[in-house]
Amino acid sequence: MMIRRNSVAGTFYPADPAQLTHMLDTFFRSARTGGDAKGIVSPHAGYIYSGQTSAHAFSAIREGFDGTFILIGPSHRGFPTFMSGIPWETPIGPVATDTDLAASIGLPVDERAMAFGNENSLEVQVPFIRFRFPDASIVAIMMGPQTMREIMRVSSHINNAIRQYGGDVRIVASSDFSHYVPADKAQKDDLFVIEALKDLNVQEFYNRIQQHQVTACGYGPIGAMIEALKPQGATRCDLISYTTSGEASRDFQQVVGYAALAVN
């Protein structure tokens, strides 16, 4: 059976199963818990920088969830939008792809592109799912153009598929926020664009990203996630946690911003 092999294990997160399990356990023991979000935003940096923030995000979904996670991540390599249709390897065990839901979504499948160039935006989310939700499956979507048109196209595919599918689905948008700016600027800019999402105003969020040139890398996946969840009854987006890479590196002049968001 084909499987999507790890490409950033040993760099973004531990390749050793015991070390990875210990790290994830530590993150979740410190995570804020509660609720059962319909969707979350989780960062995709190295775990020493953003792993705790990701654990806060995943803890907004009830423990024991055994449905399907739709993962939407930005392509850092310039590919068009596509999906994976095979299981994903992690050091602590594989995660199955929900092939029925993937078929309903109907986007192109490209396993070669999904494995190209040590792409991290989706892979770093999968060990969190395997650890906390071992009976869950995934559908991994790599988003290419991050335009409003593509946001609406991808969200329409997802929304239609969820309505046809009838199963229990959560959506994870993978994104970091400001890149390589001073910490005070990162926080100011990032909280400004995040504030537009509190009532799920994706157009205003998109406008603020563009007008203020905020270097968030996954604003398209965030928009697609929220637009897909509006017809499912979502009404608000809550900020759970915000931090920067400076907390780990102690370099506060060139940071990357990380946020955990929950959509309900």
From 48, 60, 140, 158, select the one nearest 96 (Cα to Cα). Answer: 140
Looking at residue 201, its pLDDT comes to 98
> Which tens digits make up the pLDDT trace of 150-207?
999 999 999 999 999 989 999 999 999 999 999 999 999 999 999 999 999 999 999 9
pLDDT of residue 118: 86
Q: What is the pLDDT of residue 117?
A: 75
The pLDDT of residue 34: 82
217 DSSP β-pair partners:
none
Residue 129 has pLDDT above 90, yes or no: yes
Q: Among 263, 217, 218, which residue's Cα sits nearest to residue 236?
A: 263
CA distance 240 to 259: 8
Is residue 81 very low, low, confident or very high in pLDDT (cuts 50, 70, 90)? very high
Instruction: Give pLDDT, residue 33.
Output: 78
72 within 8 A of 84, measured Cβ to Cβ: no
Residues comprising the chain, all counted: 264
**Distance (Å, whole) CA 138 – CA 114:** 14
Q: In terms of pTM, does the model score above 0.85?
A: yes
* In the chain, domain spans: 36-258
Higher pLDDT, 115 or 185: 185
CATH 3.40.640.10 matches 36-258: no
Mean pLDDT score of the chain, rounded to an integer? 96
- Condensed to tens digits (0 to 9), the pLDDT of residues 223-243 reads 999 999 999 999 999 999 999
For residue 115, name the pLDDT band (cuts at 50, 70, 90): confident
Q: What is the structure's pLDDT at 77? A: 84
% pLDDT > 70, the chain? 100
